[in-house]
Amino acid sequence: MPQSPDNIPLASDTKLVKDYLDRAALPPAMSGADKAELEQKIKALMLEKNAKLVAHYYTDGDLQELADKTGGFVGDSLEMARFGKECDADILIVAGVRFMGESAKILSPDKTVLMPTLEATCSLDIACPIDKFSAFCDANPDRTVVVYANTSAAVKARSDWVVTSSIALDVVEHLMEQGEKILWAPDRHLGHYIKKTTGADMLLWDAACIVHEEFKARGLQDMRQMYPDAAILAHPESPDAVLNIADVIGSTTQIINAARDLPQMDIIVATDQGIFHKLQKVAPDKRFIIAPTAGNDATCRSCAHCPWMAMNSLQNLYDSLSHESDEILVDADLAEQAMIPLRRMLYFAATHQLKVRGKA
């Protein structure tokens, strides 16, 4: 009989996550002059060391701008993985969270992969420890193991497929057509959305993103009364009640494309507010409004911004590149095993047309 990981607490409720959050110190503010000087130093180092910067949409706008200006890349985790694999840099700097750095190293083993800080992790990653996850897989050997990219290298190595939010529906539909039953980890909200949308036979791990889990349907309904003509865009890591209200459900890249293409001038966004930097660039005439969370009080753990993404800064990027510290290292045997599902994802993405899923 299938086994459910009911004994594993949600990421947001574990002491481990609290300990990480307690030390997730935000970078100090910098003056405009200091920032400009530091950017010039980083650019010079990047030229000297043949380094490229890849930054996630949720990181600070200064990092996204620097990546764009220096021939690097800004994108979601799937696009970051593609760019890192294909670029000709000797050093790849990954501004994001640790699983992104690990994926970059697995796909580019001959590159030196650095991060501004190795402390930047993910609640989904640490809520899916390899020992418990492996036991879960062993208890359900008849299922194809599909894991979200927000997982450790060890968990990826134990899987059959790795997916990002931009490709998850397409992969699960493909597997369902092959008659496969699926074991999904770790995000239960994304897993539920995929299961509900596709009708696939899916057994779900029980974890959640501390950012997206805080978006509230009731607050979103109230906001829709305030902005009746607004479009609501939501990331599928959000709770089902939020997704039921959304006009478009999609990955970060799909949200950006929808915000640009939709006719509405007011856009309510249920994902990390770090994405607003890119949204305002692609649609400068539109008004973007963050969806309501649990509020700025003791119950609000992220307030729509990942505390680990916020740990990335120009200063610690400079320090890392200067000393070539905060390097991502992955055991060679583990990387070889994890490469299999990652390559499978990239090949699938290259041969299938991905699309925005939504009601608008």
Beta-carbon count within 10 A of 277 CB: 18
Q: Give the 3-state secondary structure of residue 52.
A: strand
pLDDT tier at 352, thresholds 50, 70, 90 = confident
CB 171 within 8 A of CB 344: no
Q: Residue 356: is its pLDDT beyond 50?
A: no
Contacts with 266 (C-beta within 8 Å, 6 or more apart), sequence order:
227, 229, 230, 231, 286, 287, 289
Summarize pLDDT for 92-133 with one digit per residue, the tens: 999 999 999 999 999 999 999 999 999 999 999 999 999 999
CB neighbourhood size of 329 (10 A):
11
Q: 312 — phi, psi (to 5°)?
A: -75, 130
**CA distance linking residue 188 with residue 167, whole number of Å:** 16
Nearest to 95 by CA among 79, 117, 78: 117
The two beta strands, 231-234 and 248-249, are parallel
The yes-or-no verdict on residue 309 having pLDDT over 50 is yes
| Listed residue (147, 81, 133) closest to 111, CA to CA | 81
Dist CA 358 CA 10 (whole Å): 28
Arithmetic mean of pLDDT, 141-147: 98
- Pair of tokens at residue 204: 């779900």
Classify 7 as helix, strand or coil.
coil
> Exposed, middle or buried, 259 (CB in 10 Å: 0-12/13-18/19+)?
buried
According to the model, what pLDDT value does residue 3 have?
43
Residue 103 carries which side chain, given as an amino acid letter? S
For residue 328 the two structure tokens come to 């991502």
Question: Which secondary structure element, helix H or strand E, spans residue 188, and what is its range?
Answer: helix 188-198
Q: Are 358 and 246 in contact (CB under 8 A)?
A: yes
Alpha-carbon distance of 321 to 51, in angstroms, equals 9
The pLDDT score that the predictor gives to residue 74 is 96
Give the separation between CA 99 and CA 348, rounded to whole angstroms: 20
Which structure tokens are listed for 82? 């593609």
CB 226 within 8 A of CB 219: no
Rounded CA separation 312/60 (Å): 7
Beta-ladder partners of 203: 183
Find where tokens 């047309």 sit: 353
Determine if the pTM surpasses 0.85.
yes
pLDDT in tens, 245-291: 999 999 998 999 999 999 999 999 999 999 999 999 999 999 999 99
What value does the mean pLDDT take over residues 325-337?
96
Give the C-alpha separation, 83 to 214, whole Å. Answer: 31
Contacts (Cβ under 8 Å, ≥6 apart) of 47? none
Q: 78-89, pLDDT tens digit by residue?
A: 788 889 989 999
Q: Has residue 359 got a pLDDT over 70?
A: no
